[in-house]
Amino acid sequence: MRLVCEKDICTGCNACVNVCHKNAVTIVDTYKEFNAYIDEDKCINCNMCMNVCPNRADINMLKPQKWLQGWTENEFNRKMSASGGVATAIASSFLKSGGMVCSCVYESGAFIYKMISDEMMLDNFRGSKYVKSNPGMIYIDIMNALKENNKILFIGLPCHVAALKKYMEVRKQNIQNLYTIDLICHGSPSPNILFNYLKNKKIEIGNIYNINFRQKNLFGLSVNNRYIKQKGTYDGYTLAFLRGLIYTNNCYQCRYATDKRISDITLGDSWGSDLADIEKKKGISLILCQTYKGEMLLSEADIATKDVEQEKAIESNGQLKAPFKKSKEYYRFWNNYNKDNLDYSVFLCFPVKCIKQRIKAILLKAHLIK
């Protein structure tokens, strides 16, 4: 079968699936990569899937006009957010103004994009998600909402923002009421890697109602509010993610890993902040503003902002310079990985690190260290 775009660069954005009226396109997830296949028996050669694919087009990347760091003024939301809670603050303000917000949630055993108009549902969007989300048919839903003159705020990965904008262009949809925020992305793994890891830990996917990947600077996978390993230590999945072992192939050649951005606003962690330690402990977001729409979103949100040095921000966020590179450990991991042995494959890559984490877990459990 033909591919919509070149093998291994597909992001799984689903723009081609959304635009095809004949259901001739299927995204195939092989753990290491996503690819979009065309069913020749259904295809009518309209080329819509080719035209909508961001990987086959020149993308208009925007130079940030403002480099900021900040946080929500709502102390509870700041505490509960992975970083400074700026995304929550912007989304809350947008909903209060009568708009709709679309972002990733974990629901019914899948990470999907969902559109909401009720601020009470905003908490579902909160937190980092170290997994590739499934856009499903969300671009069609957003287009229909725009046709009804709704204001839409889309918060997602840069590749998904690019897909959304390209879809609207191909469908000739006015995007005056569309606002976009992209997240500085280090790379994203297939959700099947995560779910197989959890199944190997005897966790029933159907019984999961909450998955958390980090709390501020404390990284570690927790399910239904219980950590996979001792709190304060890395589980195998988290270590594999942080060391760049399990991203899909397209992530290692990501065209959006640059200081020029695809959205009105870009959000991430202000890792290199020179602000007071008390603010760092509470969480600080990095904020890049590219457009007038972005300025409006920031001005209407309940946030505090400070200037940040561009060079320091880029230095502290590597994916504002270049995509993550495959290491020798990457190849060692995949030469040994199967769906039942992620922990073992990670151990082969980082034996000393894993042993230290096991010792730390024992000491933490015995209350010998904090």
pLDDT tens, residue by residue, 309-351 = 999 999 999 999 999 999 999 999 999 998 889 999 999 999 9
Greater model confidence, 147 or 356: 147
- Whether 274 maps to a domain, the answer reads yes
- 115 Rama class: left (phi>0) / alpha (psi -120 to 50) / beta: beta
pLDDT level of residue 369 (50, 70, 90 thresholds): confident
pLDDT tens, residue by residue, 203-244 = 999 999 999 998 877 788 999 988 888 777 789 999 999 999
Domain that holds residue 84: 66-189+248-320
**pLDDT for the residue numbered 364:** 84
In percent, the amount of the chain with pLDDT more than 90 equals 85
In total, how many domains does the chain have? Answer: 3
Indicate if 115 and 178 belong to the same structural domain: yes
pLDDT level of residue 202 (50, 70, 90 thresholds): very high
Indicate if 182 and 275 belong to the same structural domain: yes
pLDDT tens, residue by residue, 266-280 = 999 998 899 999 999
Q: Provide DSSP, 350-364.
A: -HHHHHHHHHHHHHH
- Whether 276 maps to a domain, the answer reads yes
Alpha carbon of 347 to those of 169, 240, 340, 360: distances in Å? 46, 10, 14, 16
- Whether 215 maps to a domain, the answer reads yes
Rounded Cα–Cα distance for residues 134 and 104 (Å): 8
Indicate if 209 and 346 belong to the same structural domain: yes
pLDDT level of residue 127 (50, 70, 90 thresholds): confident
Q: Which of 56, 84, 101 is the last residue of a domain?
A: 56
pLDDT tens, residue by residue, 26-47 = 999 999 999 999 999 999 999 9
- Whether 347 maps to a domain, the answer reads yes
Mean pLDDT across the chain, nearest whole number? Answer: 95
Indicate if 167 and 203 belong to the same structural domain: no
With vertex at residue 13, the alpha carbon angle to CA 199 and CA 174, rounded to the nearest 5 degrees, is: 140
Indicate if 95 and 180 belong to the same structural domain: yes
Instruction: Tell me: pLDDT of 359 over 80.
Output: yes
Indicate if 43 and 185 belong to the same structural domain: no
Indicate if 142 and 203 belong to the same structural domain: no
**pLDDT for the residue numbered 358:** 86
- Whether 61 maps to a domain, the answer reads no
Residue 135: count of CB within 10 angstroms of its CB: 28
- Whether 23 maps to a domain, the answer reads yes
Q: What CATH number is attached to the domain comprising 18?
A: 3.30.70.20
**pLDDT for the residue numbered 228:** 87
Indicate if 93 and 163 belong to the same structural domain: yes
Contacts of 260 (CB under 8 A, 6+ apart): 61, 62, 63, 64
**pLDDT for the residue numbered 90:** 98
pTM above 0.75, yes or no: yes
The mean-pLDDT minimum among 52-56, 156-160, 215-219, 358-362 falls in 215-219
Indicate if 227 and 120 belong to the same structural domain: no
- Provide the edge-to-edge strand list for the sheet that holds 2-3: 2-3, 34-38, 25-29
SS3 5: coil
- Whether 370 maps to a domain, the answer reads no
- Whether 256 maps to a domain, the answer reads yes
**pLDDT for the residue numbered 245:** 98
Indicate if 175 and 92 belong to the same structural domain: yes
Indicate if 70 and 48 belong to the same structural domain: no
Place of tokens 């919509």: 4
Indicate if 103 and 146 belong to the same structural domain: yes
